[in-house]
Amino acid sequence: MSNPVPALSAAAPAAPKTLAVDVTQLRKVFRRKAPRGSTGPRRRNVDALAGITFSMAKGETVAILGQNGSGKSTLVRVLSTLLLPDGGNALVFGHDVQREPRPVRRLVNRVSVEASFFKKMSAVENLSYAARFYGMPPRHTRDRIPHILERVGFPVARRGEPMENLSRGMQQKVALARALLTAPVLLLLDEPTTGLDPRSKLEVQEFIREIRNTHDATILLCTHDLAEAEALADRVGIIDRGLLRRLLPPDQLKASYHTDSLEQAFFAATGRVLADDTEETDGREDDDERDVFA
């Protein structure tokens, strides 16, 4: 009698990897004043995010290209728990930004042109507070804070001045220093080089590469700087009127629109040139937002 064929052992399925960012049909609606001279209601609902879906792997850098007013800053603010979404879901390393804001804030650091600071406190005091918020003891930051401020080109003589006395470019350097200091798992960059001189801009781009390479950080870069996006990102997306048109590696994105440059691809996707021409308010004059450290 033939020997029975041994049963094949089924290999255990590989555990699914947790995505760094997992966004599904994300929506945010604002009430805004109707343009002067228009008919109809004085206030209208505007979709800042109109059902965006995308994901990011751990350690990936994704750039989102869009004009101001396109929804990219709203996306950053939702992911950093500064705004509540009106629909859909957004997860940061498996944590829901709406239901689990506290662990999300521990994982995220946001750098933006309107970064949150204690305006009456100095750069050093703000960085010391950030270090405590992220659980870093003073003995680890006493020497590190001056070193990082020096690296971002912040002048020694102004380290004790209140933040409210500093220019936007100087405040941007403090925001970047905070990101370097806290080494976040997810770094949300909203126009990180706006207001900086060309030399500082190149230095900031090098800092972004350093954070990615030395800390294995996941980076979402929202910008209207085409060269910056192409130089730093693994994938580039185009956002327009709250919709994410495409998200692909730079060469594939250009090929998908049969163009030779990201500028041409953006025009093909939106019918407009990529210019800093519309202020993105995120509905802040009409929306109740939480004042949190992010």
pLDDT in tens, 68-78: 888 999 999 99
pLDDT of 280 over the 60 cut: no
Amino acid identity of 75?
Answer: L
Structure tokens at 207: 């800092």
The CA distance from 288 to 290, in Å, is 7
Predicted local distance difference test score (pLDDT) of residue 284? 43
Phi, psi of 19 (to 5 degrees): -75, 150
Using left for φ > 0, alpha for ψ between -120 and 50, and beta otherwise, residue 261 falls in beta
What's the pLDDT tens digit per position in 248-275?
A: 999 999 999 999 999 999 999 998 887 6
The CA distance from 249 to 255, in Å, is 10
Predicted local distance difference test score (pLDDT) of residue 40? 64
pTM (predicted TM-score): 0.79
Work out the mean pLDDT of the chain and round it to a whole number: 82
Predicted local distance difference test score (pLDDT) of residue 6? 42
Predicted local distance difference test score (pLDDT) of residue 9? 36
Return the minimum-mean-pLDDT range out of 21-35, 132-146, 210-224, 279-293.
Answer: 279-293
Return the minimum-mean-pLDDT range out of 42-46, 202-206, 240-244, 255-259.
Answer: 42-46
**Nearest to 78, CA basis, from 19, 27, 25:** 27
Between residues 112 and 5, the one the model is more confident about: 112
Spatial contact of 182 and 134, defined as CB atoms under 8 Å apart = yes
SS3 (DSSP) at 122: strand
